[in-house]
Amino acid sequence: MVSKLKVLTIGDAMITMNPTSTGPLRFVSTFERKVGGAELNFAIGCARLGLDTAWVSRLGDDEFGRVIYNFARGEGVDVDHVEFVEGHPTSINFKEIREDGSGKTFYYRYHSPVLSFTKEQFTKEMFNQVDVLHISGVFMAIDPQNVELIQHVVKLAKESNTTVSFDPNLRLKLWTIEDARAAYAPLWDHVDIVLTGLDEIDLLLGHNDKEKLAAFSKRHHIQDFVIKDGANGSMLFTNDEWIHVSPFKVQPIDTVGAGDGFDAAYIYSYLNQLSPAERLRVANGAGALVTTVSGDNEGLPYLDELNRFINQESVIER
Cα dihedral across residues 215, 8, 128, 302: positive or negative: negative
209 is catalytic: no
Cα 234 from Cα 246, distance rounded (Å): 7
Cα 188 from Cα 200, distance rounded (Å): 15
The three-state (H, E, C) secondary structure of the chain, written as one string:
CCCCCEEEEECCCEEEEEECCCCCHHHCCCEEEEEECHHHHHHHHHHHCCCEEEEEEEEECCHHHHHHHHHHHHCCCECCCEEEECCCCCEEEEEEECCCCCEEEEEECCCCHHHHCCHHHCCHHHHCCCCEEEEEHHHHHHCHHHHHHHHHHHHHHHHCCCEEEEECCCCCCCCCHHHHHHHHCCCHHHCCEEEEEHHHHHHHHCCCCHHHHHHHHHHCCCCEEEEECHHHCEEEEECCEEEEECCCCCCCCCCCCHHHHHHHHHHHHHHCCCCHHHHHHHHHHHHHHHCCCCCCCCCCCCHHHHHHHHCCCCCCCC
Cα 252 from Cα 266, distance rounded (Å): 20
Check 260, 263, 296, 304 and give the catalytic one: 260
Q: 196 pairs with which residues across the strands?
A: 227
Cα 83 from Cα 74, distance rounded (Å): 16
Cα three-residue angle 46-52-57, rounded to 5 degrees: 75
Give the catalytic positions in this structure.
260
